[in-house]
């Protein structure tokens, strides 16, 4: 996981934190705007980088609790500085961790937000399973990623389809759109966790397709 911090730690990390705080600000704000949660919600920001999104979430949810994970020591320091008052007030909790192993229990969060980091998750399957696990039933998630960052390793449409498929396997129904941002188009995947609904649907389908219960055979009408 720590190899994931390459480019986000050391002097390069410090320089990129400053650039990202400026260039990705609109994406972090847009991701926070996508969330429809109660003011008291607990929200996890994955790959918080310089902490601009954490700050936006903390302002939007004054009675909520914002948690964040990022494996980079530099990002941890920069984001902690940016959110110092909220961290000290216990309203923001930041930890050094990757999306592949989220250090909170099942269903802890009402929502999860990840901006410009899903393309770094390794393996992607594990990170998505972790995000689904840590989000409560009925909760929501927003993944927003630069299209160009995804296209560095392959076609964006296939990447989006794979994410949506994997999330569907965890009971997360999603929609995907592309929106313009300051530094280029961003892919917005919005999801809602519907495990109970999916379970109920499966049960209904099973009832409808099950053979009728065995009972006394209907007698053929007589002559």
Ligand X SMILES: C[S@@+](CC[C@H](N)C(=O)[O-])C[C@H]1O[C@@H](n2cnc3c(N)ncnc32)[C@H](O)[C@@H]1O
Q: Which residues bind ligand X (CB under 6 A)?
A: 1, 4-5, 8, 20, 24, 27-28, 46-49, 53, 69-72, 75, 98-100, 115-117, 120-121
- Beta strands 92-95 and 42-46 are unpaired
Q: Closest approach of Cβ 204 to ligand X, in Å?
A: 37
Nearer to ligand X, 125 or 173 (CB): 125
Q: What is the DSSP string of 139-195?
A: EEEEEEEEHHHHHTTS-HHHHHHHHHHHHHTTTEEEEEEEEEETTEEEEEEEEEE-H
Q: Residues 48, 25: contact at Cβ < 8 Å?
A: no
- Residue number, 28 or 110, with CB nearest to ligand X: 28
Pick between residue 3 and residue 209 the one whose CB is nearest to ligand X: 3
| Residue closest to ligand X (Cβ) | 49
User: What is the nearest approach in angstroms of ligand X to the Cβ of residue 24?
Assistant: 3
Closest approach, Cβ 142 to ligand X, in A, equals: 12
DSSP string across 14-50? HHHHHHHHHHTHHHHHHHHHH----TT-EEEEES-TT
Least Å distance, CB 69 to ligand X, is 6
């Amino acid at each position: 996981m720590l190899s994931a911090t390459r480019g986000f730690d050391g002097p390069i990390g410090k320089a990129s934190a400053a650039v990202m705080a400026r260039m990705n600000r609109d994406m972090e704000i847009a991701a926070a705007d996508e969330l429809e949660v109660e003011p008291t919600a607990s929200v996890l920001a994955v790959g918080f980088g310089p902490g601009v999104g954490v700050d936006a979430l903390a302002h939007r949810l004054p009675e909520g609790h914002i948690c964040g994970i990022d494996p980079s020591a530099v990002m941890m320091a920069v984001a902690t500085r940016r959110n110092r008052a909220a961290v000290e007030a216990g309203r923001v909790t930041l930890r050094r961790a990757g999306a592949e192993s989220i250090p909170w229990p099942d269903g802890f969060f009402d929502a999860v937000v990840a901006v410009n980091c899903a393309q770094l998750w390794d393996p992607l399957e594990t990170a998505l399973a972790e995000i689904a696990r840590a989000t409560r039933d009925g909760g929501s998630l927003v993944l927003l990623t630069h299209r160009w960052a995804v296209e560095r390793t392959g076609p964006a449409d296939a990447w989006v389809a794979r994410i949506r498929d994997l999330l569907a396997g965890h009971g997360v129904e999603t929609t995907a759109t592309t929106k313009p941002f300051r530094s280029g188009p961003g892919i917005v995947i919005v999801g809602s966790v519907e495990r109970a609904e999916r379970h109920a649907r499966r049960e209904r389908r099973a009832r409808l397709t099950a053979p009728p219960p065995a009972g006394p055979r209907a007698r053929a009408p007589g002559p």
